Structure 1
Amino acid sequence: MTFVPATLILPLSPPHNGVPLELEVVAEAGEIHARGDRGGAQSPSAFVATRGGHQRYDLLPGRSIGLPTEVWWKVIDFVADDIWHTETGGNQLRELARVNQACHTRCRVRAEERLDVIDRDKKEVYRLIRRLDEHPDRYGRIKTVRFVNGKISTFGSLAILMAGKLPNVEMLELKSGSLTWFHCDWEPGQLHSRIFLHVRAAFESVTTLHLFWILFPSAAVFGRLIHALPRLGSLTCNGVRFKNPSVMPGPVASPLRLATVGLFESPDVVDFLVQSGPGAFFLHQVVVGPQRGKGSRLVTVAAHSLSSFHLRIDWSIAQDLNDLDLGLLPDLTPAQNLCALSVSISSISFSPQWLERALPRASLPNLRELEISVDLQGDDQRRSNFDEFDDDSYVHIDGVLSGPLFPTLQKITFCLQCCVTPSEVMSVTSEVSWRTHFSSKLPLLHASGRLL
């Protein structure tokens, strides 16, 4: 039941000094360069991945032992999938590629699947494409394109240069520059008048779009972007805004079918999805923040198709809700076909009152899975004595989840997540203590066998 994703410690196998790192991805984003670097000898070390504000990967002294190839591949996939958005993947993957032949092979595969274009001007983008053109077979292996820049004009150049070259790209990420806290302004005057045709020609196969801190002039321009991606099925918006949010397009016939949507600090996007039509086909929703009204509107629009809903509340936001009795979740009453519900609470301390407020207030006859996770950020994450907590909240939780509101509920999980340094791992509440605590506090659920 205990889940501690914060720290992963795996000893390294002996360093790889054999096969040259051909087509190695260098520190520059997305570039390929033939090198004869054989990964000079390095001391045995332990690979430590620690999640803080973003992911960090360091090589620390440790005892060297051999690990199965499949374990190393999982480590490499973990690194490649969780690299901070303002960093290129080259540095981390180059370090891992030097471990042994198995790591070299996997790192090269994962490196060639990504194209990171981070804080480059137009000249650098042209130079990057020329280098990629020297290895045209590389284009077919690219699955993810990450564009990070404060100027949208550079993305326009990238779209033009990439037209027809990316047959297998699946994910497109557009983010504001790593050197600024401001939005990247989608300024039509900086882009070609046929920018959306270029986007379609370059990224027609994209199924997943991530937008971070992008400022669009209007909902219509935002709509043209997502409709330029005909296969789009998953949309994530973080801090996406419209300059003129009061003007929203009405419902229009569209072939776009978004199955998954993730929203954080993007109320304008919520209004767009509710009013223009794509929201009616959602299967999965991920909402971050306490905007119950916005979340309730999305649930209502997608009520018939919605099968899963995830809500994340950060502790800085949650502090503003301490005096409210409305609960954390939006109104889920219309979502009668909802099968899976998860709530993540990021807090500085553990409190059963937060768990109680994370319960759905509506009757959900088809709900089969419920997960409530607590992501502790402060010193209380090392607390091992839960006896001081009052039992009233637990009695209510036990009664509600065992009652008639959720007749098909089969699986209930309370998950503890902690962000800790490697030296603090052993001080985190143990799985045994966590399991014992909830088993004793929720006797009805424990006796039913549904408490995991």
Structure 2
Amino acid sequence: MSIRSVWNIPPELKGRRIGVRFFSHLGACVEHQSPSGPVPSRVPNAVWDFIIDELRDEPDTLVACMFVCKAWYSRSKHHLRIEDNTVLSGRDEVLRLARLARVIRPMHVGTISLKLTFLALSAAMFCGNVSSSLWGIALRGGEWMPGTPRNIFLHLSAFATVSQLELHDVVFPSIATFGRLVCALTGLTDLCLSGVSFSDARTSVPSQKRWATPEKLHHIRIDWSRSPNVSDTLRALSATQAAEHCQHISPMSAGDIPLCCIQDSSLQKVFDSAGDSLRELWLDLRHSLPEASLDDVHAQELVDAHMNVSHNTGLQALNIRTNLRRPKMHPRHLLWLPRLISHVPNTSIREVNVMFETNGDLPDGSLRLIYEDIVEDAIGLSQALRECAELDNVLSSAHYSSLASVAFAVRLRSEAIYPNKTKSERWTKSVSRLFPKLHKRGILRAEIYDMMEVPASPPWRGKHGLQGKADR
């Protein structure tokens, strides 16, 4: 419904854009003339609210209505409100936001969440209006259609303030299209990938590509549990050089790096692509390597060829998460761990953190038993750690002069049980006996935490923090 069909607009206003300067005419609608002067209209406010609701897609008129009276102000402002996280579920909502952007200056949008199908329309409509206030784009579902306009990348290049891009359950026609999308957002700093797939996963990216990787793309997060084929996602990151300046690689949620991603070298290619830019690496190896039944030779070959971080000469923090096993951990459960850690560059590494977590499907009644088993070593964790004893000689070497912390932490899924000081000291002493040189150097940490209490970043991280490439 148009404003011109609700009120009888004077001829001089017809065909003109109604703005704030004409709000006095709208004010005549809430009062009428009488012999004694203007008298407020007796029309109930509910009727005016209904009329304003019908005008929710006419932002020019809503701005004018805000200046008529207090009742109209609050109702009109409600329809002009923009959420920090705007969800655009269809074409009409994209067009409405574009109209609001032309009226409200400046307009703060924050982030938008939409399907991949509407990305081309949004890029064209928001370019120049919303782009200056937008800092995040989340694409949730959809497929990149063959008829998508090619100038979409030119429109996206105007969104210089966008620093975060999330891709959830989206399908690209090729790896090259994925790379062009990522590189079109020149201000990108954070890339989140969950369920990304490709119609054609062949790495048909020109060796001399015409687009440049965002220089500030320092953080890449991957959902290992939801991607249809994580190997394709990893190959896309390396083939498009999207990880060229990456400083942090971490998981989006609790998951496990599939063994196939390790064996086919797709993970190793991402490490190689990041090179000396990589500062912090999170590896979730709860099941893949521990359950691979590796012997000494195969463990060394697999890690040396497919999980080698020796070329990441700027790496400062290596974080590894794995699971505890009940009722008894196999003595060779951690056979792969010392080989993996021994590859960290000795000139830059500052902290190595190994976190053991309980299985999520254990009943609450067994949690206390797990805690007692850890302290009493009934679960066999200390026996499994003996396979890592060689790290005591490797990491205590004078070559690791920057190393400030080597931590072995246990995280329990218990909200009511907190380890007392005496039992925690027993666990600390047990680990100290396995790594006496690291303990003597004063950099060994052994802790037991409630999983609900542990912060996202390692609690033992010191004040030194992690330096970027420019800080070194």
> Normalised by the shorter chain, which TM-score bucket?
0.5 to 0.7
Task: Count matched residues.
Answer: 327
Cα distance, 1:231–1:401 mapped onto 2, change above 3 Å: farther
Q: What residue is the counterpart of 1:427 in the other structure?
A: 417
Shift of 1:128: 5.1
1:225 aligns with 2:160: no
Q: Of residues 329, 353, 370 in structure 1, which corresponds to 2:352?
A: 370
Counterparts of 1:130 and 1:249 in 2: how far apart (Å)? 38
1:20-99 equivalent positions in 2, closer than 5 A: none
Q: Say whether the 8 Å CA contact 2:325–2:379 is kept in structure 1.
A: no
Q: What residue is the counterpart of 1:122 in the other structure?
A: 91
Q: Of residues 384, 387, 392 in structure 1, which corresponds to 2:371?
A: 384
Counterparts of 2:367 and 2:154 in 1: how far apart (Å)? 51
Counterparts of 1:225 and 1:372 in 2: how far apart (Å)? 36
Q: Deviations over 1:302-350 (max 9, x none)?
A: 33332221112355x5675355662896122222332111112356769
Counterparts of 1:112 and 1:428 in 2: how far apart (Å)? 45
- Structure 2 gaps of 5+ residues are 1-65, 72-80, 446-472
1:345 aligns with 2:322: yes
1:98-117 equivalent positions in 2, closer than 5 A: 114-117=84-87
Shift of 1:217: 0.3
Q: Of residues 175, 187, 195 in structure 1, which corresponds to 2:152?
A: 195
Counterparts of 1:431 and 1:236 in 2: how far apart (Å)? 40
- Structure number with the bigger relative contact order (C-alpha 8 A, sep ≥ 6) is 1
Cα distance, 1:440–1:206 mapped onto 2, change above 3 Å: same
Counterparts of 1:343 and 1:124 in 2: how far apart (Å)? 43
Amino acid at match of 2:266: K
Q: What residue is the counterpart of 1:331 in the other structure?
A: 308
Counterparts of 2:318 and 2:194 in 1: how far apart (Å)? 21
TM score, norm. by length of structure 1: 0.61
Amino acid at match of 1:372: V
Counterparts of 1:447 and 1:112 in 2: how far apart (Å)? 58
Q: Say whether the 8 Å CA contact 2:156–2:184 is kept in structure 1.
A: yes
Shift of 1:363: 5.1
Structure 1 or 2, whichever has the larger Rg, is: 2
Q: Deviations over 1:10-49 (max 9, x none)?
A: xxxxxxxxxxxxxxxxxxxxxxxx999xxxxxxxxxxxxx
- Structure 1 gaps of 5+ residues are 1-33, 37-110, 177-183
Q: Secondary structure at the match of 1:370?
A: strand
Q: Of residues 434, 438, 452 in structure 1, which corresponds to 2:428?
A: 438
TM score, norm. by length of structure 2: 0.59
Q: Of residues 197, 212, 217 in structure 2, which corresponds to 1:255?
A: 212
Q: Say whether the 8 Å CA contact 2:117–2:143 is kept in structure 1.
A: no
1:279 aligns with 2:243: yes
1:158 aligns with 2:128: no
Cα distance, 1:438–1:246 mapped onto 2, change above 3 Å: same
Identity in percent: 19
Shift of 1:428: 5.6
Shift of 1:175: 1.9
Counterparts of 2:322 and 2:155 in 1: how far apart (Å)? 41
Q: Of residues 162, 166, 191 in structure 2, which corresponds to 1:235?
A: 191
Deviates more, 1:236-245 or 1:386-395: 386-395
Amino acid at match of 2:110: K
Amino acid at match of 1:283: Q
